[in-house]
Amino acid sequence: MSVLPKKNHALNFLTESVLDQRVVNFWVQKFNPMWSTHEMLGRIVKKQSTAKDMVTLTIRCNKRMNFGLPGQHHPVIVEIAARRLERTYSLNRIDEQHVELTLKKVPQGAVSTWLCNVAEIGDVIEFGQPYGEMLCVTHPEKDVILLAAGSGITPMYSMIYDLVKTGQLKHYRLKLMYWVKHFEDVAFHSFFEKVAQQYPEFTYQVFCTQDAQTSSRLNEQHVTDCGDLHDTAVFACGPSGFVNSACELFHAARLFKSEAFTLSPLEISDTGTVTITLTKSQKMLEVPCGISLLEALEQANEKPVAGCRMGICNKCSCHKVSGVTQNILNQNQNSEPGSSLRICINSAKSDLVLDL
């Protein structure tokens, strides 16, 4: 009678060990680093320069890949010096198995620098689930304006590439307005020019903000040039300062969707510290004001869950029990108790109690 429980115990042990996905992955990846029970993995098969400090990686994905829709973002996870780091990028699907990842090297950006300078053909990277609402094909408006600044061009490229590939572009009046510092920063220029030649209803303009003769930041005149916006869908992607201006200037559009991929330098001049009470981990921490709560908690050696770090994926969202916070993107303050808070884009204005 005592044999059976022993066998069960051994079996349970084996089952738990063998079926633990991480253990299985560890062993199967000894044979093929692209095999996984659950991870979306991709191997770099091509690397090319797209513009100044910008590269495009062509990546062959494994069978687990959940390809996002054109315009969406994916978490991209790489291991650098034994640390798993995650950043968010827009991917462009080019066929059944391959995606392109175009990214710009960001000063002090560990992941972008690694992908631009160190990553080689054959390296394997991991993806997270796609997310985001920059999806012009899911909206009925046929007049569409795409506003892109810097790396904000990548979701726009992905949408236009897909519309061309699927033959749908002819159904849209689509205007792409693209801001860069210098002309050498323009990515996909020949592609957009070719599309503009082929489709009379597609227009493409580049604005160089730091080339003396052509300097032209987003302003009222650009809105006026777009004409009546009442039936127009506007999508904007770029640094948060650009996206905020676009949101204000294009307020008359029927639909406005945006994603900011960097936080503008804080205008919050707060100094000093506040006390944050973390209810789940039962800690009280003194953290600096004037920076995002995510950053402040990380500086205090906490490891809150985070993904995009720019207010899109919602992974860092937590329940705020009490206290006043300020949104870094739009400077709005929130003193509502019991509200949901994205700690990557909010800073503390008072002592806080968070369910973390």
Question: Contact residues for ligand FES (CB under 6 A)?
Answer: 306-309, 311-316, 342, 344
* End-to-end Cα distance, the chain: 47
Strand order in the sheet with 283-288: 283-288, 273-278, 352-354, 317-322, 339-342
- In the three-class reduction of DSSP (H, G, I as helix; E, B as strand; rest coil), residue 46 is classed as strand
Task: Tokens 């299985």: give the residue.
Answer: 24
Cβ–Cβ contacts within 10 Å for residue 184, how many?
A: 12
User: Directed axis angle between helix 189-198 and helix 153-165, to 10°?
Assistant: 40
CA–CA dist 127, 86 (Å, integer): 9
C-alpha–C-alpha distance, residues 355 and 323, integer Å: 12
In angstroms, what is the minimal distance from the CB of 342 to ligand FES?
A: 5
- The least distance separating ligand FES from the CB of residue 326, rounded to whole angstroms, comes to 15
Using left for φ > 0, alpha for ψ between -120 and 50, and beta otherwise, residue 22 falls in alpha
* Pick 149 or 260: Cβ nearer ligand FES: 260
Nearer to ligand FES, 58 or 72 (CB): 72
- Shortest separation between residue 305's beta carbon and ligand FES, angstroms: 8
Min separation Cβ 184 and ligand FES, Å: 31
Nearer to ligand FES, 87 or 93 (CB): 87
Q: Which residue, 198 or 332, is less far from ligand FES as judged by CB?
A: 332
Which of 87, 349 has the CB closer to ligand FES? 87
Cβ proximity to ligand FES: between 25 and 264 the closer is 264
CB of 317 to ligand FES, least distance (A): 7
Q: How far is the CB of 260 from ligand FES (least distance, A)?
A: 11
Q: Dump the DSSP string for 227-278.
A: ---TTEEEEEEEEHHHHHHHHHHTTTSSEEEEEEEEPPPP-----SEEEEEE
Which residues, in sequence order, are CB contacts of 178 under 8 Å at separation 6+?
A: 148, 149, 153, 156, 186, 192, 204, 205, 206, 207
**How far apart are alpha carbons 217 and 182 in whole angstroms?**
12
Kindly state the smallest distance separating residue 309's Cβ from ligand FES, in Å. 5
Nearer Cβ to ligand FES (314/333): 314
